[in-house]
């Protein structure tokens, strides 16, 4: 596979900033957020997460949204995995109708390469791969660069020694001001309607990923806050 593809909105530089609303668990909220113009909705496929949703429930949401599709483009359906096996990821992608995979654990560049091959071998074409990394210093940024030949986008999240994501912590934005990898990258970690304008002013990320900053509780989105976030970020 080459570095970065050009056939999907996930990396289309002609579009506005790519916005992903993550941690969805409810059909009505997913549909409302898609109608607001979000580029992607994320589903947490990690059983121990408070935002966990199983593949059957994801499939119920994605199939309903595809059945109700109008002239408006559907968002990407992104499954978030932490140290899952390639077999589990491929099965969930196929069953749930996902269009992209976000790896938020300790996966290596070789794992990403092997996952790509297995997705293709199972006729799961055009499934995009996003590698999330928890970054606390320049060494973390250097590590991120190792993935660019094997993924479609990088996602940089705040570092936490115990949690893989959803911490509500912000990353050091100043550290990212000169970050320019070979493929698109997204900013995550503690974003909200209150601070997203400042984040955009400080870093030139291709996309933004928000979850807890637009919630009433884990997995239950506050649609007013989502609308506020999108109005600023898009």
The pTM of this model reads 0.90
The three state secondary structure string of 169-232 is CCCCHHHHCCCCCCCCEEECCCCCCCCHHHHHHHCCCCEEEECHHHEEECCEECHHHHHHHHHH
Closest C-alpha among 90, 78, 87, 96 to residue 42: 78
Q: Is residue 2 part of a domain?
A: no
- 182 belongs to a structural domain: yes
Tokens of 167: 């911490």
pLDDT for residue 4 is more than 50: no
The confidence score (pLDDT) of residue 71 equals 60
Closest CA to 189 of 217, 157, 233: 157
pLDDT-derived band of residue 21, with 50, 70 and 90 as boundaries?
A: very high
Q: What is the dihedral of CA 188, 189, 193, 198, to 10 degrees?
A: -80
**Domain-embedded: residue 192:** yes
Phi, psi (deg, nearest 5) at residue 161: -70, -15
Q: Is residue 56 part of a domain?
A: yes
> Between 14 and 76, whose confidence is greater?
76
Does residue 4 fall inside a structural domain?
Answer: no
Does some domain include residue 46?
Answer: yes
**Owning domain of residue 53:** 9-233
Give me the pLDDT at residue 194, please: 97
Asked whether residue 42 carries a pLDDT value surpassing 50, the answer given is yes
pLDDT tens-digit series, residues 107-116: 999 999 999 9
pLDDT above 70: residue 168: no
Strands (E), the chain: 18-21, 40-44, 76-81, 100-103, 128-135, 153-158, 185-187, 207-210, 215-217, 220-221
Kindly indicate the confidence band of residue 29, based on its pLDDT and cuts at 50, 70 and 90.
Answer: very high
Strand partners, 128: 100
Count of structural domains within the chain: 1
Residue 75 DSSP label: P
Structure tokens at 181: 């990898």
Distance of CA 82 to the CA centre of its chain: 13
In a domain, 143, yes or no: yes
Q: Which residues are catalytic?
A: 22, 157
How much is the average pLDDT of 84-102? 98
Q: If you average pLDDT over each of 102-116, 133-147, 162-176, which comes out highest?
A: 102-116
194: CATH: 3.20.20.70
Predicted pLDDT at 1: 34
Note the pLDDT tens digit of each residue in 182-232.
999 999 999 999 999 999 999 999 999 999 999 999 999 999 999 999 999
The answer to whether position 194 is within a domain reads: yes
* Res 2: pLDDT: 34
Query: For residue 159, is pLDDT > 80?
Result: no
Split at pLDDT 50, 70, 90, the class of 147 is: very high
| pLDDT-wise least confident of 7-16, 54-63, 115-124 | 7-16
């Amino acid at each position: 596979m080459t570095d970065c593809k050009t056939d999907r909105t996930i990396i289309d530089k002609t579009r506005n900033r790519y916005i992903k609303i993550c941690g969805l668990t409810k059909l009505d909220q997913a549909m409302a957020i898609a109608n607001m113009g979000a580029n992607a909705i994320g589903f947490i496929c990690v059983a121990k997460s408070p935002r966990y949703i199983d593949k059957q429930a994801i499939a119920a949401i994605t199939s309903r949204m595809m059945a109700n599709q109008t002239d408006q483009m559907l968002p990407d359906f992104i499954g978030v995995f932490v140290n899952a096996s390639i077999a589990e990821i491929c099965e969930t992608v196929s069953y749930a109708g996902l269009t992209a995979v976000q790896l938020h654990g300790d996966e290596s560049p070789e794992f990403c390469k092997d996952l790509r091959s297995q997705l293709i071998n199972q006729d799961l074409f055009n499934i995009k791969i996003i590698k999330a990394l928890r970054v606390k210093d320049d060494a973390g940024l250097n590590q991120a660069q190792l993935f660019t030949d094997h993924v479609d986008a990088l996602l940089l999240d705040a570092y936490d020694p115990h949690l893989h994501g959803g911490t509500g912590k912000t990353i050091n934005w100043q550290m990212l001001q000169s970050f320019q990898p070979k493929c698109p990258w997204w900013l995550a970690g503690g974003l909200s309607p209150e601070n997203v304008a400042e984040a955009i002013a400080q870093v030139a990320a291709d996309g933004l990923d928000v979850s807890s900053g637009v919630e009433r509780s884990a997995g239950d989105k506050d649609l007013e806050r989502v609308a506020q976030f999108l109005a600023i970020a898009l």
